[in-house]
Amino acid sequence: MQSDVIVLVGPMGVGKTTVGKRLASTLNIDFRDTDRIFVDRHGPIADFFEQKGEAEFRTLEESIVAEAITIPGVVATGGGAVLSDETRMKLKSATVVYLMTDGTHMANRLSQSKRPLIRNGLSDWKQIYDQRRPIYEKVADITVDCSGQAIRETVSAIVKALNNHE
């Protein structure tokens, strides 16, 4: 591995947290979720968006990501974390894994969601993913297509790619 820090990026709902936990367990290293850190410090993200707006959220998210990637382990980021120029620069110190998807399973995953940017469900998700996809591709050292795959298969593909990436 080029780095002691593996950062998972990709669209909201793709499974960065679930995959990240399993990957960290497989590699026997720590796991951190930047959205969980945010919620622990500032409360629910949807409520924060409503009260203080996306700009304030992104500023705090930027500092949380910067902090999270200073400690060895696996870090799952929020879907929009890569929108920050500063965050993208800092991610160069880590191995970035982009969890790509064709979106076929997203309607199910998003149906019970309280995500502030996808009030119109799958159509909002697709629009946001289409806008962010080039950024994910640009920051990624490794891309893993997790479309229709079991979590264990995605984790296995990441581990294999990490071993080949050295």
Fold of 5-165: Rossmann fold (3.40.50)
Whole-angstrom Cα distance, residue 50 to residue 29?
35
The one-digit pLDDT tens for each residue of the chain (166 residues) are 446 999 999 998 888 999 999 999 999 999 999 999 999 999 998 889 889 998 999 999 999 999 999 999 999 999 899 999 999 999 999 999 999 987 666 555 454 555 444 555 567 778 888 899 999 999 999 999 988 888 899 999 999 999 987 6
Whole-angstrom Cα distance, residue 9 to residue 14?
9
Q: 81: closest CA among 65, 103, 99, 105?
A: 65
The domains of the chain are located at: 5-165
Report pTM: 0.89
